[in-house]
Chain A
Amino acid sequence: MLLGRVVGTVVSTHKSAKIEGLKFLLLDMIQPATMEGQGKYVVAMDGVGAGTGEIVFYTSGSCGRYTEATLGRPADATIIAIVDTIEIGGKPTYVKNPVIEDAK
């Protein structure tokens, strides 16, 4: 699976009936060590209710058809998880809801 940041949505009213009722999100692929976008974009089908700004990972190819939202549909990129934390070498490079220490 590949990591991406949800940077927007893609709306299409004139589309295949097979993909009716699905939300399409615009993902910028990220480099997890720096969390920077790489300027490579993917339109992914939303399988988990992800929102703009969130870090997600998506499954590609025919595996994209195996979520409830995309079963039997022509989905080749489906978001299957919203990331809470990414840790590299024991250090977090991303924390979704960082706990803010009270000012003492």
Chain B
Amino acid sequence: MILGKIVGTVVCTQRADNVEGARFMLVEKCDQHGTTTGEFHVALDQVGAGPGEVIFMSNGSPNRQTERTFDKPIDASILGIVDMIDESGKVVYSKEQG
């Protein structure tokens, strides 16, 4: 899975994904410190993520293994909001400190 930060939203009415009540977020890839990399993805939100939050998202066909996306053309969805990341025993990201 990829770490990313929610930087915005993508609204579209003309769609062919057949996902009920889909909410598409604009995600910018980031590293374990929350530093963004300039690479953007559109991802289906499955956990109610909000702007500024660090998340992890799944890419590719595994995305079709949730109820909402089963047999749907979704190749990126947000599966978790990150609270904390530690690397070699040291906290490198925490939601409180942002």
A residues near B (Cβ < 8 Å) are 1-3, 31-33, 47-49, 57, 59-70, 78-90, 93
Contacts and interface: CB of A to CB of B under 8 A. Distances in A.
Interface stretch (B60-68, B80-88, B89-97): B60-68
Contact of A84 (B13, B41, B42, B73): B13
Nearest to A65: B73
Main SS of chain A's interface residues? mixed
A73 to B, nearest CB: 12
8 contacts: A1-B24, A59-B17, A61-B75, A68-B16, A80-B73, A82-B12, A82-B15, A89-B8
Contact of A82 (B14, B40, B43, B51): B14
Contacts of A67: 16-17, 73
Contacts, number: 106
Contact of A63 (B13, B40, B60): B60
A80 B42 CA distance: 12
Given A31-B40, A47-B16, A59 B74 contact: yes
A49 B13 CA distance: 13
Interface string B1-31: 0000001111111111100000010100000
A61 B15 contact: no
B72 interface: yes
Nearest to B19: A80
B27 to A, nearest CB: 10
Nearest to A69: B16
Interface in B36-78: 38, 40-43, 51, 60-61, 63-64, 71-76
